[in-house]
Amino acid sequence: MMTGRGVSQGLGMGKVVKITRPEIHIPDEACTDEAACLKQFDDALAASKDDLKAIQAKAKGTLDKEHLAIFDAHLQMVDDIEIVKQVKEKISESMNPLKAYKTVTDTFKAMFEAMDDPYFKERASDIADIQTRVLSHMAGTPLQDLALLDTDTIIVADDLTPSDTAALDLSKVQGFATEIGGYTSHTAIMARAIGLPAVVGISGVMDIEDGALALIDGTAGKLDVNPSDDALSAFQKALKDAKALKAKLDPFQSLKGLTKDGHSIPLYANIGSAKDLPVALKNGAEGIGLFRTEFLFMESSEAPSLETQIQAYSDVFKAIHPVIVRTLDIGGDKALPYLKQPTEDNPFLGVRAIRLCFNELELFKTQLKALLIASAPYPDVRIMFPMIARLDEVQKAKAILDEVKAELNTEQTPYQTVIKIGIMIEIPAAALNARTLAKHVDFFSIGTNDLIQYTYAADRMNDGVSYLYEPLDPTLLRLIQSTVEAAHAENTEIGVCGEMASDVKAALLLSGMGMDELSMSGPALLEVKEALTHYTMDDLIALKDKALAFDTADQVRALFNP
């Protein structure tokens, strides 16, 4: 049994097909005919773009618009002005075009790989994808044809690129297993969008023989190659059960979050961009409770322009509402290459999120401006400030927003004048001071990912202290409950957007606390909806009261397994 990280849920069974990359020889010889070398480079770019367009056209039947847009991003990367300029400079200095292209793109790849943030880090695989394609054209080595699969298949690769995924005959693919990649890698994003199981980070996966029978469990993060008869029959039973569960949960796609006695618990989805919308919409999200905008800022080598931002925000707003948009949360584990951020000993306790925005006023004001303009037709878009610790930060953020509104008035640019303002409650000081803060904002959203890390002084990225990272711990539940009471005493709405809301047990307890909405990952919506139908509102309140009186998370968990 091989193990890795399950990044897309589900079970699949099939024969292994390995995706191998061509070995491309990069010559050392100098370029002796600059015009011919430049032509070789230009032709390879043109051929790569033709490939990408053909793959994109082929994928139209299987991938939705948002995912097809990844190919637009790749097409742009092929044409990236900076890369093309640097390659041409090297060719004019007599470097051969393969070496020139490899050298330049390796530098860009290394820049992404060096970043701490997993999302940004994984953009290196996009560069690698483009690099292989362009180099293979220059070298005249064709890429593997993945459209010909004749039986149920588990795709095995070092790392899957979006163009690999799109070129595949998806009617035959039952799952993906890769050596590298993470939750936000495109393999993972695509697999989740298509609804196929995926396990990444399986060491030695490329040593598996082509054609071997494999069982993949994207929930448990396991790959069983040449399984025993017992394992095979257990898996077949699990597949049958999974089908039955899917059949049980699918009807909830079109339903809202409702308790057994019809009490509404609005269930929203968390997204990082419009690309995450399909799963949210498919599973019937009633809104977006957290739109993490930082990914837009991390995708390119410079800050997105006002226009780019307006477009990106509008793409989400026109698809679904209400939407709670969180302003930039950079710092901690997320860096922006174009901002000069000093190295910090404790970046999670440092200049992060709103603190950084106060130092980078132009960046912050441009984002606020884009949000106000993009939300002009949508009165139920809301703005949320992250990492608020104290009242003066709320006041300062609101004052900056007022300055931006004044500028828009002067420019006579239409914008959303009645936009609601909220804050994340993810620092214990804010939770403790919730009553005061509630007087100054329209809504709260509890960011349990950070609230847990800061309450228990347990780094959310550090496995060594993961035992302290426990959403069902009664101390945390009491802190959250007191925040709900403070918010409601001031008629301020309150929801939860941390991962805790995706956990069915926690979601039930949070519902019992009286949350006005729960926002979770798109795939979690169905299970939470289904679970809610088993409890009346009184049941949920009683459950929550019991949990709050306990001492340990195990006692709380036991409430659900009588």
Contact partner at residue 283 from Mg ion, ligand PEP, none, CB < 5 to 8 Å by partner kind: none
Is the Cα dihedral 207, 209, 210, 216 positive or negative? negative
Q: How many C-alpha atoms does 507 have within 13 Å on its Cβ side?
A: 29
Angle of helix 537-549 relative to helix 474-489, nearest 10 degrees, comes to: 130
**175 makes contact with Mg ion (CB under 5 A):** no
Q: Is 450 in the site for Mg ion (CB under 5 A)?
A: yes
- The active-site residue, picked from 186, 321, 357, 440, is 186
450 is an interface residue for ligand PEP by CB under 6 A: yes
Tell me which stretch binds ligand PEP (CB under 6 A): 128-136, 252-260, 443-451, 509-517. Answer: 443-451
Angle, nearest 10°, between helix axes 123-139 and 34-59? 120
CB of 386 to Mg ion, least distance (A): 6
* CA-based radius of gyration for the chain: 25
SS3 7: strand
The answer to the question of residue 449 lying near ligand PEP (CB under 6 A) is: yes
Least distance CB 95 / ligand PEP (angstroms): 42
Shortest separation between residue 255's beta carbon and ligand PEP, angstroms: 25
Q: Which residues share a beta bridge with 8?
A: 198
**Residues of this chain, 256-295, that bind ligand PEP according to CB under 6 A:** 290, 292
In the window 485-544, what residues touch ligand PEP (CB under 6 A)? 497-498
Q: Does 294 bind Mg ion (CB under 5 A)?
A: no
**Can you tell me whether residue 442 is helix, strand or coil?**
coil
> Could you say whether residue 103 binds ligand PEP (CB under 6 A)?
no
Specify the residue, 87 or 397, whose C-beta has the smaller distance to ligand PEP. 397
Q: Is 447 in the site for Mg ion (CB under 5 A)?
A: yes
Task: Say which entry of ligand PEP, Mg ion, none residue 159 contacts (CB below 5 to 8 A, set by partner kind).
Answer: none
Question: Residue 415 region, left (φ>0) first, then alpha (ψ -120 to 50), else beta?
Answer: beta
The interface with ligand PEP within residues 314-333 (CB under 6 A) comprises 329
Nearest-CA neighbor of 474 among 431, 502, 443, 506?
506
- Catalytic residue, candidates 31, 37, 357, 497: 497
357 in catalytic set? no
186 is catalytic: yes
Going edge to edge, which strands form the sheet with 5-8?
2-3, 222-225, 213-217, 11-19, 153-157, 173-178, 198-200, 5-8
Q: How many residues at the interface with ligand PEP, by CB under 6 A?
A: 10
Residue whose beta carbon is closest to Mg ion: 450
497 binds, options ligand PEP, Mg ion, none, Cβ within 5 to 8 A by partner type: ligand PEP
CB atoms inside a 10 Å sphere around CB 463: 8
* Residue 316 near residue 288, CB atoms below 8 Å: yes
Amino acid identity, residue 399? A
The residues that touch ligand PEP, with contacts defined as CB under 6 A, are 290, 292, 329, 426, 447-450, 497-498
The residues that touch Mg ion, with contacts defined as CB under 5 A, are 426, 447, 450
Residues tagged active-site: 186, 497
